[in-house]
Structure 1
Amino acid sequence: MIDSCRSKADFAALRRGRRFDSELLWMSFAADAGLARPRVAFALSRHAGTAVVRNRVRRRLRALFREHADDLAPGRYLVGTRGAASAVTYRRARAELARLLETAGAFPRIKRTPT
């Protein structure tokens, strides 16, 4: 289960968090062990496309976060797109988001086996 970032405190924490970039997405992450569940917000500007396109991208990103919900570290996440949001397919967004989450250290609950 994932909650939404809605309060001033959530966005103030995100401003103090770290930012991570990829080719199509960017993400700000502020870890907070005091939260029961991760909180997520999306930032899609009008430059990303029409409202229909932005809503489609937001739904895709929300679905991707739900896929990772059980493995995510508690904290606040703010995700946005770079350039045209219509270029963000589900498969590519999945790969980019997984890379960003891995770089941010947001997967502490995944048990890694030594290779």
Structure 2
Amino acid sequence: MIRLGKRSSNEFATIHFLPAETSRFAIVTSRAVGNAVVRNKIRRRTKAVLSELIADKTQIHGVVRYRAAATNLSFDELKASILRLMERTEK
């Protein structure tokens, strides 16, 4: 999917996506993001934000890849980052 789809990026993450009938996401956090505790916290927060957005947004299959800069994001900053990325997927 990463090769076939479109891509949208910001300083914290990149989302690769394809239009689909239902929404599904994979969340990728490398070791550069932090230790296991930090990576899992980012994944849990991302799942919470995406579950709110899925009902309102266009249906897509996506892969969210985080960069090392995402290590110290608060929940609100993470949510704003994901919202900006999701807005670009609708264009």
For normalisation by structure 2, the TM-score amounts to 0.90
The one of 22, 30, 38 aligned to 1:53: 38
The one of 42, 48, 55 aligned to 1:63: 48
**8 Å contact from structure 2 (residues 34, 68) kept in 1:** no
How far the C-alpha of 1:85 sits from its partner, in A, is 3.4
84-93 or 49-58, which moves further after superposition? 84-93
SS of the equivalent of 1:56 reads helix
Could you tell me which residue of structure 2 aligns to residue 3 of structure 1?
none
Could you tell me which residue of structure 2 aligns to residue 78 of structure 1?
63
How far the C-alpha of 1:62 sits from its partner, in A, is 0.4
Structure 1 spans left out of the alignment, 5+ residues? 1-12, 107-115
Could you tell me which residue of structure 2 aligns to residue 87 of structure 1?
72
Instruction: Compute the RMSD of aligned alpha carbons.
Output: 1.5
* Corresponding position: 1:38 with 2:26: no
Q: Identity across aligned pairs (percent)?
A: 32
Could you tell me which residue of structure 2 aligns to residue 21 of structure 1?
9
Q: Which structure has the larger Rg over C-alpha atoms? A: 1
Give 1 or 2: higher helix fraction. 2
For normalisation by structure 1, the TM-score amounts to 0.72
SS of the equivalent of 2:11 reads coil
Structure 2 spans left out of the alignment, 5+ residues? none
Q: Structure 1 segments of 4 or more deviating over 3 A?
A: none
